[in-house]
Structure 1
Amino acid sequence: MYSMSLRIARIGFNCSLTQFADLKLMPIRTLFTREELGVTQFERHRQNAHADYIIPEQIEEYKQRFVKEFENMRLDEMRNNLKQYILLIDGKPDEFNTLKSLLTDYYKTYNNSVHHVSDFVFGTPIMRLLYFLNLPDEAVKLFNDPDMRSVFEQMQTYKVLLTLLYDNKRYAEVFELYKQIRTRLDLFELFPDITINCLAFAACYQLNTPEHFQYADELWKQAQNVKQLSRSRYLLAGLAIKQNSPKYALGLVRSPFPYATVRFLRLAAFTQLGYYDKAIDILQQSVANFKLNSTSTKPSFGKQMVEDLRKAIEKSGRKKDLSDFQKIHEELTSLSLLSDETLDERLCATFPPMLPKNLYQKMKNKTFKANN
């Protein structure tokens, strides 16, 4: 009977843990998936850590005992128990104060000891924990704490932190923390990872002010020594369109094929410039290519973008452009090539899982051939 009761208690505890995890999977606008950030793997480790205990009270007992005995532990015991403690934190403010104290003691012991114990990077798992618990305030507080500065020095840590803020629509903080990260990296003559730069471009795109457009332009010029993500280019082009600089956008995205995002951007830029014949030509080329190879992915266009083009042509009074537009619009409709997707949704969509470089190149080459 006792064994059965323990099993029931354990099942109930695991169910509540699963429900808690489900709350963290609520749909939000994000650039990077939980897999890409390493949060999914962190969750698995967390679930395994919780599975070692039958009831929640045992976890609290372990935490209290660990904190009490921490100073008397060997260095390797400190490290391993800290790793376990991070997996068991449930989000109470006092736990993060305790964690800070424990980390300070650990690094003090580590730096003052003659040891043969491998170090462990705690910064990234801590940020993954804060992402899992959705605690952006605590993340910013810990990151800005002078005593914790050496803990958070990894590119992946920066990526998780900025993504946590971005997912919570705290774009101004993403922008400001990115500048702080740049300052930190400048001391080591390093430049942010291309994914971190992409988050900066995304924040500038969301903030959409002349100042952020200027900063994004300068960042793009500074980053040219290292090939950047295409999404960064597209976000900057989209920001240029929002800031009424369509020619700047066209300079960034010169060829409309085979990428749908480029077609979206050029269509919007040509509409804004009043180059209606060129905007219509993009639609016509897409329809023609689809008819030649109807087995390929449909080159859909956002209904709102096409509607904006129609309104602009009608306002201009150009009868030939309007006639050409009406013809191509009929074909787009009959072929079901119009979608509800907006330019903003396309630019801010979640990245697909990052593939190994060799596999990515094979897929890219295959896709390019299929579209030409």
Structure 2
Amino acid sequence: MALSAFRGVLCAEILKTPRKLCGLSLAKSPQTAGCRLLYTPAALGIESFESTRKRTLVQFTHNVEAFKEKMNTCLTTLDKGLVFTEDLKNTIYLTEAEEKDVELVLAMAKKFNQQNAGLRFGAFNFGPLVMRLFFFLNQPQAALKALEAEELEGFFDQMVSYQIAMTLLYNNEQYEDALKVFDLVQERRIGGVRYPKTCFTLALACCYKMNTPESFATAQQLLDSATEYGLVVNRRLICMAAALCLRQGRPQDALTALADARTTTHIAIVSLKVKALSEMDRGNEILPILRSFTQEDLPSTPKWKTNHRILQEAVVSAEEAVARSENKEVRVEFERIVKSLREHDMISDKTIDGVVTEPIEPSQLREKGPRNRERERLAASFYPRNRRTPYYPPAQPQHAPRRGLLDME
């Protein structure tokens, strides 16, 4: 079963409420609006796309319009003209935000998909490239239109295409449309996976951002079905679930969700637990949690840039709960502990929302498996630290599960 935090009984009307499509967002481009991305551009390959785009623009400095006109002519010749791989690549990199340019890319993609039907082996995968273009141009509706087009069936058969599309919709606060894309992921079973962790994280983040009884019900259904399917719920998903519970006024469910976390010392887990206990006026249970930090013997090594252990938002909630208590000893002890935490710089000024939706970097999508370790050992044999004792990275337990890129957080 899923997180037990979501086992509370919900109204049947909520569970049956259909999703309503959001209107077109007026949000600015993610690159200029300063919005908070769940997956960074580097993690989605946008930075690499921009670099190649700049090189292509330099190559076609004085021939951009002529090239586009030639591609339009190619499309009007029906069966006589073919869309070649390099032509489609260049068209994508040369595309601007104008509607005619976007329509040209979609038309060429449809024709390319039609002429190469059944010849997928060895063909270039254009799905992620097209989605990176829409992300770069901030064209969420074009991305959604492309994924739903029957003429492009099989064109977007890489999971990263859906990840980029969902991220684009998420950035533009079109959460319902992002969930609609996740429905396509489940329906099409890309790579035989029904609940890919990247897209599942985005789906749950959309439910968290919407923060409605309907989205809470959707989150419950997603977690129930995903855990029954075999998905391992990681810390980020647990924090999103617990934070959504708190936003919906269900602190007890938040505590139950946090009980499934493998670590109890992460700043998000601790802060959510303290905030949940505070909302339930259980100040006596907060003191041992905070006191444990003051009793830690922290290492004084360069890698410890900060000693933050709890968020200021959680401390404020705890302070309000303690203030409501009639136990003077609890108040005095709480003030002493908080003073010690501040002196040792253990309180962060970040918000719970900021930590829960913290951007995921490329390094968080990689995990070393047996194959990568063998490559490191091979590299170490060619580049030893000294000739006598070559360096070998420490081996990981052989029983550690192997997970691919699409299964990472």
Report the TM-score, using the length of structure 1 for normalisation: 0.81
Alignment match of 1:231 (pick from 216, 232, 236) = 236
Q: CA deviation at 1:127?
A: 0.7
Alignment match of 2:204 (pick from 201, 205, 210) = 201
2:182 is aligned with 1:173:
no
In structure 2, what is the Cα distance between the partners aligned to 1:293 and 1:190? 42
2:260 is aligned with 1:257:
no
Letter in 1 for 2:274: L
In structure 2, what is the Cα distance between the partners aligned to 1:175 and 1:99? 25
Structure 2 match to 1:274:
281
Q: CA deviation at 1:214?
A: 2.3
Q: CA deviation at 1:73?
A: 7.5
Q: CA deviation at 1:207?
A: 1.0
Letter in 2 for 1:284: R
Structure 1 match to 2:90:
84
Alignment deviations for residues 10-51 of structure 1 (CA, whole Å, 9 cap, x no partner): xxxxxxxxxxxx982552211111111111111111111112
Alignment deviations for residues 233-278 of structure 1 (CA, whole Å, 9 cap, x no partner): 2101111122222232222323663311111111111112222122
Alignment match of 1:28 (pick from 35, 41, 45) = 35
Structure 1 match to 2:348:
339
Q: CA deviation at 1:163?
A: 0.3
Q: How does 1:85-104 map to 2 (within 5 A)?
A: 85-104=91-110
SS of aligned partner of 1:128:
helix
Alignment match of 1:357 (pick from 364, 367, 380) = 367
2:54 is aligned with 1:47:
yes
SS of aligned partner of 1:111:
coil
Letter in 1 for 2:96: D
Alignment deviations for residues 72-116 of structure 1 (CA, whole Å, 9 cap, x no partner): 8775x612211111111012111222222222222332238xx89
Q: How does 1:25-174 map to 2 (within 5 A)?
A: 26-55=33-62, 58-69=63-74, 71=77, 78-111=84-117, 118-174=122-178
Letter in 2 for 1:358: K
Bigger shift: residues 41-50 or 61-70: 61-70
Alignment match of 1:211 (pick from 210, 214, 217) = 214
Alignment match of 1:311 (pick from 313, 320, 330) = 320
Alignment deviations for residues 165-191 of structure 1 (CA, whole Å, 9 cap, x no partner): 1112222322233234323339x8631
Q: CA deviation at 1:292?
A: 4.2
Bigger shift: residues 102-111 or 264-273: 102-111
Letter in 1 for 2:137: L
Unmatched segments (≥5 aa) in structure 2: 1-28, 374-392, 397-409
Which is bigger in relative contact order (C-alpha 8 A, separation at least 6)?
Answer: 2
Query: Percent of pairs identical after alignment?
Result: 24
Q: CA deviation at 1:144?
A: 2.6
Distance 1:209 1:335, change over 3 A: same
Report the TM-score, using the length of structure 2 for normalisation: 0.74
Letter in 1 for 2:276: A
2:189 is aligned with 1:185:
yes
Letter in 1 for 2:141: D
Distance 1:54 1:306, change over 3 A: same
RMSD (CA atoms): 2.9
Q: CA deviation at 1:122?
A: 1.7
In structure 1, what is the Cα distance between the partners aligned to 2:349 and 2:327? 27
Distance 1:340 1:73, change over 3 A: farther
In structure 2, what is the Cα distance between the partners aligned to 1:171 and 1:199? 9
Structure 1 match to 2:245:
240
Unmatched segments (≥5 aa) in structure 1: 1-21, 366-372
In structure 2, what is the Cα distance between the partners aligned to 1:73 and 1:81? 16
Alignment match of 1:329 (pick from 329, 338, 350) = 338
In structure 2, what is the Cα distance between the partners aligned to 1:107 and 1:202? 32
Distance 1:26 1:208, change over 3 A: closer
In structure 2, what is the Cα distance between the partners aligned to 1:238 and 1:103? 41
**Higher relative helix content:** 1
Letter in 2 for 1:198: T
Alignment deviations for residues 260-311 of structure 1 (CA, whole Å, 9 cap, x no partner): 111111111111222212222221112222x443544413422232112111
In structure 1, what is the Cα distance between the partners aligned to 2:30 and 2:325? 50
Distance 1:73 1:300, change over 3 A: farther
Letter in 2 for 1:130: F
Distance 1:331 1:78, change over 3 A: same
In structure 1, what is the Cα distance between the partners aligned to 2:120 and 2:281? 69
Count of aligned pairs = 336
In structure 1, what is the Cα distance between the partners aligned to 2:199 and 2:240? 14
